[in-house]
Amino acid sequence: MKKMALSLLTLLVLCSCVPPQYQSTINTANDARKYLPPVREVRQELDEQQPMCARLNSLPVKKRQLYEDYYGTMLTTDKSWLRTPGGNYNWGIANAKRLSMAYFAAYVKATGKYGRFKTSIYIDGGIKADMVFTIRANSRDGEVLKNLTIRPGQTRKVDIETGGAKKLFIFTELRINHDEAEKIVLGEPEFYNCR
């Protein structure tokens, strides 16, 4: 706070010392600034609050019996599909091909009782509008555990309680305003329990 006050005071003093012949140039520049498009503020989303626990055991969704495609997805360890600006993942769920006007949807399954599920979701920067991902318990009509809005080019970490569900349905709908999705990635999906 002190540094900001000192900076403002310095700026005020410097502006008051500008010779009159340059004052009109400064005023013209300030007037022109009003007509510039607003600068889009780039800020990184804070990740979902992580539980304060040590993991007792976990179940990475790496095997075919823990995954089921609903539409447009594949379980993969292919690094080229799993490389994103937000991270490079060792395994994950990604779109099998370029998608437009369809769903990106898959089931992840637990073989035991796990209290939490985590993953990182990335959508490519070429998608033209925000996308809403929904995670439901047990089926595509099940209880909504989480709705998450993701901007084009953004990666968001998700860490949710499963509510005892043995299976989660994760999906998003691609609409005409999204254009085409080159890459959607659920990085390193995993069920786990806290101690």
The mean pLDDT value for 144-149 works out to 95
- CA 189 to chain CA centroid, Å, is 14
**Res. 122: pLDDT tops 50:** yes
Q: For domain 55-194, give the CATH number.
A: 2.60.120.260
The pLDDT tens digits of the residues spanning 8-22 come to 455 545 555 555 555
* pLDDT higher than threshold 90 for residue 47: no
Tell me which of 14-28, 110-124, 139-153, 167-181 is least confident. 14-28
Give residue 31's pLDDT band: very low, low, confident or very high (50, 70, 90).
low
- Asked whether 128 and 179 are in contact (CB, 8 A), the reply is yes
CA–CA separation, 151 vs 49, rounded Å?
A: 19
Nearest Cα residue to 113 out of 59, 61, 62: 59
Give Cβ neighbours of residue 179 (< 8 Å, ≥ 6 apart). 100, 126, 127, 128
Count of beta carbons in the 10 Å neighbourhood of residue 102? 13
Cα-only R_g, the chain: 24
pTM of the predicted model over 0.75: no
pLDDT at position 129: 87
Average pLDDT over residues 147-156: 94
Q: pLDDT by residue (tens digit) across 56-85? A: 789 999 999 999 999 889 999 999 999 999
Domain definitions of the chain by residue range:
2-33, 55-194
**Tokens standing for 11?**
């700026």
